């Protein structure tokens, strides 16, 4: 067995890539939201914590499917990136479908109903996206 094909090495590599991509993708979410996720979480904003937790779960779940259904790390990264773009698109659709209020403003005000729905949308979409990853 080749060193790079050993299950421990493959696991460590997949883990490292998923964590790195997760950090980068969360930074992108931080840019597109009107509030600072980590400042709000530090202040105890539960709605931001739910929405951010949903994003973390969503990104991780997409990578779970991507790693499971692809043979190489590069393929997994490519599908993970594509899945993230779809998840991000879902975030913008959610904002578009609620013209009577601004999602980011409601979450920043700790509207837990909106934070919960944002979390469920991220989680739900991650399963839909993941099930189609090749």
- DSSP secondary structure letter of residue 6: S
Cβ-based burial of 100 (10 A; exposed 0-12, middle 13-18, buried ≥19): exposed
- DSSP secondary structure letter of residue 101: S
Please tell me the distance from the alpha carbon of residue 131 to that of residue 41, in angstroms, as a whole number: 31
What the block records as the tokens of 91 is 């975030």
| Residues of the chain predicted below pLDDT 70 | 1, 134
Cα(first)–Cα(last) distance of the chain, in Å? 26
Question: What's the confidence (pLDDT) of residue 124?
Answer: 97
Question: What's the confidence (pLDDT) of residue 134?
Answer: 66
């Amino acid at each position: 067995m080749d060193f790079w094909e050993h299950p421990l090495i493959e696991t460590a590599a997949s883990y490292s890539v998923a964590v790195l991509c997760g950090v980068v993708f969360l930074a992108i979410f931080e840019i597109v939201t009107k509030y600072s996720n980590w400042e709000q979480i530090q202040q105890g904003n539960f709605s931001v914590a739910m929405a951010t937790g949903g994003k973390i779960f969503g990104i991780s779940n997409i990578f779970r499917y991507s790693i499971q259904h692809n043979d190489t790390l590069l393929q997994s990264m490519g599908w993970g990136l594509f899945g993230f773009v779809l998840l991000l698109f879902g975030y913008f659709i959610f904002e578009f479908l609620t013209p009577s209020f601004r999602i980011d403003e409601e979450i920043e005000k700790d509207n837990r109903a909106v934070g919960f729905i944002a979390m469920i949308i991220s989680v739900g979409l991650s399963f839909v996206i993941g099930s189609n990853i090749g």
